[in-house]
């Protein structure tokens, strides 16, 4: 180890002088630290913009790729007994009229217990412990085996201190039946959670003395019935009360012989709102990319070294670093390419549909002047006219499935943007990696590899700095030794001359 005790003979502050001499040696290492910081800032910026692209890709574009998003329909019901059913249009609904008559609701399979619990226990309360009210009538509930039963093969257990309402909750949660206590009759009722007729193998099966004796669930099973309706002249029957006809969901609510008409029409407002949402999301994504690519870069503001940071006030450091980290992705090739692809899709046509309406501009969506950098605007009057003329054309422009061709000319614009943004996400991942902090040894991205090399260079630079520091201290130590020797010789001469 190099002796660092200095200045005893010369009076020189050795540590201070060594640090001055090392200042030049430290510059290459400082530049490496600045390079490391710049790479880390660039990676952070990549990941911030990556999050925005990912949200646009997964949450926004995914929705706009679905034809149902732009195929909004609405329903109205008319007839002498319009309350006998309800109707809900979906994106797959066909516009037109649907007539419904002779409706019959589906019912569930059910059973009502034959035993009135109030006769077993006077003033029976479903909120009090069963064992305390029923005792050993008809079965002894103090025994654990009497507190276990099965409904359609699903086992239910309850504790000695639990009430009938506790048991009912367990039945409703764990089995395919709904249980209910009728305080007027004092009886328990079980009904299937599904409606419709059951085949013999699906019929209700109960086991356990608690069910059959204590609750009296040994009555007659009331079979369920299917829903029936004559729709557009065709008799239909099924287990569920909801029929799906040409994409429209029709739910039978009461038995009725009246004729009801369901009119399915285009929901113009719904389509307009969907288009406006697309334009809003597109503009926000485009602006986020353009802001990052066009961010000012201050080349004279480098990342601060530790010494520089110590010499500045906190607010000065903050202002400096705002400029130092600005423009990390200025004119970035990946983001610039993403911007170009988005803008290209926005002005491209989609083949295979109505030739009158095959571009965004043809339905009232266009960019402003060149100063707007591709920002889209909606002419709502023109859009509404296009919807009235051919509502299906709107869905085709955005969400056409395409024919699989490489040029994507028959694919909807949202589908093209979806693929382009996925490509941008892959490129950002390749460049910035997956590690969120520090230097990950498994990160094989471009920036990850650069950071590892810089770290290695910093380690090597610090080793050289240590060698230079030791060399300077040795020289000062040698100087101190020489001065001490001269002082000793001088003292000896003076003593010889009687000094």
Can you give the length of the chain in residues? 499
Cα-Cα-Cα-Cα dihedral sign, residues 334, 335, 340, 343: positive
Residue 285 and residue 397 share a domain? yes
In sequence order, the β-bridge partners of residue 244 are 249
Residue 169 and residue 21 share a domain? no
* pLDDT tens for the 499 residues of the chain, in order: 455 555 555 566 776 766 676 677 778 888 888 889 999 999 999 999 999 999 999 999 999 999 889 988 999 999 999 999 999 998 788 889 999 999 999 999 999 999 999 988 888 999 999 988 888 888 999 999 999 999 999 999 999 999 999 999 999 999 999 999 999 999 999 999 999 999 888 889 999 999 999 999 988 999 999 999 999 999 999 999 999 999 999 999 999 999 999 999 999 999 999 999 999 999 999 999 999 999 999 999 999 988 888 889 999 999 999 999 999 999 999 999 999 999 999 999 999 999 999 999 999 999 877 778 899 999 999 999 999 999 999 999 999 988 777 778 899 999 999 999 999 999 999 999 864 444 455 678 899 888 888 888 888 877 777 777 777 777 767 776 777 777 777 777 777 776 5
Residue 284 and residue 150 share a domain? no
Residue 84 and residue 231 share a domain? yes
Residue 89 and residue 202 share a domain? no
Sorted by sequence, the CB contacts under 8 Å of residue 284 that are 6+ apart come out as 56
Of the three residues 401, 432, 463, the one that is the final residue of a domain is: 432
Residue 231 and residue 198 share a domain? no
Residue 181 and residue 121 share a domain? yes
Examine residue 440 and state whether it is found in any structural domain, yes or no.
no
Examine residue 172 and state whether it is found in any structural domain, yes or no.
yes
Res 17: pLDDT: 65
Examine residue 219 and state whether it is found in any structural domain, yes or no.
no
Examine residue 238 and state whether it is found in any structural domain, yes or no.
yes
In sequence order, the β-bridge partners of residue 470 are none
Residue 184 and residue 202 share a domain? yes
Sorted by sequence, the CB contacts under 8 Å of residue 277 that are 6+ apart come out as none
Examine residue 496 and state whether it is found in any structural domain, yes or no.
no
Examine residue 412 and state whether it is found in any structural domain, yes or no.
yes
Question: What is the Cα–Cα distance from 160 to 144, expressed in whole angstroms?
Answer: 8
Res 434: pLDDT: 62
Residue 289 and residue 425 share a domain? yes
For residues 263 and 97, is the Cβ–Cβ distance under 8 A?
yes
Determine the structural domain holding residue 122 and report its residue range. Answer: 108-214
Question: Cβ-count burial of 149 within 10 angstroms (0-12 exposed, 13-18 middle, 19+ buried)?
Answer: buried
Examine residue 451 and state whether it is found in any structural domain, yes or no.
no
Residue 357 and residue 342 share a domain? yes
Res 445: pLDDT: 87
Residue 203 and residue 112 share a domain? yes
Examine residue 89 and state whether it is found in any structural domain, yes or no.
yes
For residues 338 and 289, is the Cβ–Cβ distance under 8 A?
yes
Question: What is the Cα–Cα distance from 205 to 70, expressed in whole angstroms?
Answer: 48
Q: Total structural domains in the chain?
A: 3
For residues 18 and 474, is the Cβ–Cβ distance under 8 A?
no
Residue 399 and residue 423 share a domain? yes
């Amino acid at each position: 180890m190099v002796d660092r005790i200095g200045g005893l003979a010369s009076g020189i502050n050795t540590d201070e002088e060594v640090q001055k001499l090392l200042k030049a040696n430290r510059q290459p290492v400082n530049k490496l630290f600045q390079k490391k910081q710049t790479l880390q800032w660039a990676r952070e910026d990549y990941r911030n913009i990556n999050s925005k692209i990912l949200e646009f890709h997964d949450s926004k574009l995914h929705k706009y790729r679905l034809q149902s998003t732009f195929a909004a329909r609405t329903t109205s019901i008319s007839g002498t007994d319009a309350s006998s059913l309800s109707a809900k249009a979906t994106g797959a609904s066909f516009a037109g009229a649907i007539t419904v008559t002779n409706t019959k609701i589906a019912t569930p399979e059910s059973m009502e217990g034959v035993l009135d619990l109030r006769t077993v226990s006077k003033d029976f309360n479903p909120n009090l412990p069963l064992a305390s009210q029923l005792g050993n009538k008809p079965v002894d509930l103090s025994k654990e085996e009497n507190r276990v039963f099965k409904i359609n093969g699903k086992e239910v257990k309850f504790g000695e201190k639990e009430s009938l309402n506790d048991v009912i909750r367990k039945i409703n949660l764990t089995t395919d039946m709904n249980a209910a206590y009728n305080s007027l009759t004092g009886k328990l009722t079980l009904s299937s959670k599904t409606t419709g007729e059951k085949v013999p193998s699906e019929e209700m099966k109960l086991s356990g003395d608690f069910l059959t004796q204590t609750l009296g669930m040994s009555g007659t099973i009331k079979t369920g019935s299917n829903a029936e309706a004559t729709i557009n002249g065709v008799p239909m029957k099924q287990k569920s009360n909801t029929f799906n006809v040409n994409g429209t969901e029709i739910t039978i609510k009461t038995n009725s012989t009246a004729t009801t008409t369901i009119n399915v029409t285009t929901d113009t407002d719904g389509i307009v709102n969907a288009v406006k949402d697309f334009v809003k999301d597109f503009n926000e994504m485009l602006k986020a990319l353009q802001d990052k690519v066009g961010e000012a870069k201050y080349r004279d503001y480098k990342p601060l070294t530790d010494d520089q940071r110590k010499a500045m006030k906190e607010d000065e450091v903050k202002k400096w670093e705002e400029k130092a980290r600005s423009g990390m992705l200025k004119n970035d090739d990946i983001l610039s390419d993403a911007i170009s692809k988005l803008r290209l899709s926005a002005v491209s046509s989609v083949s295979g549909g109505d030739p009158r309406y095959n571009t965004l501009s043809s339905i009232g969506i266009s960019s402003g002047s060149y100063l707007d950098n591709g920002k889209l605007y909606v002419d709502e009057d023109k859009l509404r006219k296009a919807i009235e003329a051919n509502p299906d054309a709107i869905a085709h422009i955005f969400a056409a499935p395409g024919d699989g061709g490489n040029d994507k000319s028959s694919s909807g614009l949202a589908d093209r943007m979806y693929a382009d943004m996925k490509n941008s996400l892959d490129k950002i991942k390749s460049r910035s990696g997956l590690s969120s902090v520090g230097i990950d040894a498994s990160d094989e991205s471009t920036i990850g590899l650069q950071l590892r090399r810089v770290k290695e260079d910093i380690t090597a630079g610090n080793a050289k700095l240590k060698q230079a520091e030791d060399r300077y201290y040795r020289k000062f130590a040698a100087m101190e030794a020489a001065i001490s020797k001269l002082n000793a010789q001088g003292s000896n001469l003076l003593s010889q001359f009687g000094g």
